Amino acid sequence: MLSSPSTLDPMPRIDAQRLWASLMRLAEIGATAKGGVCRLALTELDRQARDRVLAWAREAGCTVRVDAIGNLFARREGTDPSLPTVATGSHIDTQPTGGKFDGNYGVLAGLEVLRTLADHGIRTRAPLELCVWTNEEGSRFVPVMMGSGVYAGAFTLQHALDAADREGTTVRQALQAIGYAGSEPAAVADGAPRFGAYVEAHIEQGPVLEDTATVLGVVTGALGQRWYDVVVTGLEAHAGPTPMDLRRDALQSAMPLMQAVDRIARDEAPHARGTVGYVQVHPNSRNTIPGRVTFTVDFRHTDDTGLDRMDAALRAAVAEVQAAGRVQVAVTPVVYFPPAPFDPALVGHVRQAAQALGLSHRDIVSGAGHDAVYVARTAPTAMIFVPCKDGISHNEVEDARPEHLAAGCDALLQVLLAAAGRA
């Protein structure tokens, strides 16, 4: 039965206080002394957090299913069973010194949307689902973004279940121990439902929105990534008796390469990143000329041709260093994530929601991985970013303003309503 248009609230709004209170209550589970959260994937604390979120979802009228990798789906039926589900969500596992908002915001913003719809008695044509993806952070078990990765077929369920933590506990054992080893198919290829649309809200985890005093980030996609291990091999020798021009100093040869990583990314500004985050000098001794330097390279770019140019530039820098004849350089690619452009129509809905709500907004590219990046391989996907204080996350001081979190949640509500259709 349809309400008459005059009784329809044209733009329902979420309950900002309830959203904030839920964020704070969930953050009690695994709370750290410094105000952060330590809730590693598939621990007893993760179980408590899952239980709490699902209890809230059931109170909001949802039914729940758990798949074989422990992903949770809280479902609110639509009026047209023939339509594919419109989904939202994120993750509730954290880094060991994590914050209250990374992931948790996306889950609880989705929950707040479901609660708001229940409060207002609003039905959607398509069903809605709130997803809680298993082990997004990857601190206890690798690979990262495990639940969404299995779902999208980035790797197999078997591979994920066999992954073990440092104590030798496997994901399979941990899921059984906390009672979240579900029976539903986990991968789309194995019959897991494919969504009609997926929208994930998240704190930005970077400084751009705050720096530009913008409330909403309209995420157009995620950067592609290429990671490398680089080993520069020279020869250890005594720092005293070995004259400068007879040295094969691996560190002095590695330094221009590390600086090249930074320069290569700047040459591709503003859409590239280049980072050397790990360096190991062997033997790392005050009076020995370094014989070997190992370092990592993390290149990111909005498009693949850009990543190709960065790859070529790195190899040219390596060739130059090798041409001097003092060292050998080995470059090993270790990880490749293709750039993930989001669905232009759904991204357009996010932009329209920001405009309709009168919120300042700008297009932004996600530099980090998110569950949405994997889900985008299976369904039209978009993300909504809100600012976080000083752009900091993966840190106990991670913080965000209640009014920004509420604004992102209001936008999420509008986008999900647009995607699912208001009955």
**Binding interface with Zn ion (CB under 5 A):** 102-103
| Smallest gap from residue 136 Cβ to Zn ion (A) | 6
Residue 134, CA distances (Å) to 32, 56, 70, 384 in order: 21, 18, 6, 20
In DSSP terms, which residues pair with 368 in a beta bridge?
A: none
| Smallest gap from residue 377 Cβ to Zn ion (A) | 18
Considering the complex, state which of residue 71 and residue 252 has its C-beta at the smaller distance from Zn ion.
71
- Residue with smallest beta-carbon separation from Zn ion: 103
Considering the complex, state which of residue 273 and residue 370 has its C-beta at the smaller distance from Zn ion.
370
| Smallest gap from residue 225 Cβ to Zn ion (A) | 16
Both ends of the chain: CA-CA distance in Å?
9
HSE toward the beta carbon, residue 322, CA cutoff 13 A = 14
In DSSP terms, which residues pair with 279 in a beta bridge?
A: 295
Considering the complex, state which of residue 102 and residue 311 has its C-beta at the smaller distance from Zn ion.
102
SS3 state at 177:
helix
| Smallest gap from residue 94 Cβ to Zn ion (A) | 9
Considering the complex, state which of residue 12 and residue 207 has its C-beta at the smaller distance from Zn ion.
207
Considering the complex, state which of residue 103 and residue 234 has its C-beta at the smaller distance from Zn ion.
103
Distinct helix (H) and strand (E) counts, the chain:
12, 16
| Smallest gap from residue 103 Cβ to Zn ion (A) | 4
Considering the complex, state which of residue 102 and residue 129 has its C-beta at the smaller distance from Zn ion.
102
Q: DSSP labels for 110-159?
A: HHHHHHHHHHHT--BSS-EEEEE-S-SS-SSSSSSSHHHHHHHTSS-HHH
| Smallest gap from residue 347 Cβ to Zn ion (A) | 19
For residues 352 and 361, the answer to whether their CB atoms sit within 8 Å is no
Residue 319, CA distances (Å) to 105, 127, 276, 296, 333 in order: 46, 56, 19, 17, 16
d(CA 72, CA 358): 33
| Smallest gap from residue 105 Cβ to Zn ion (A) | 9
Considering the complex, state which of residue 103 and residue 193 has its C-beta at the smaller distance from Zn ion.
103
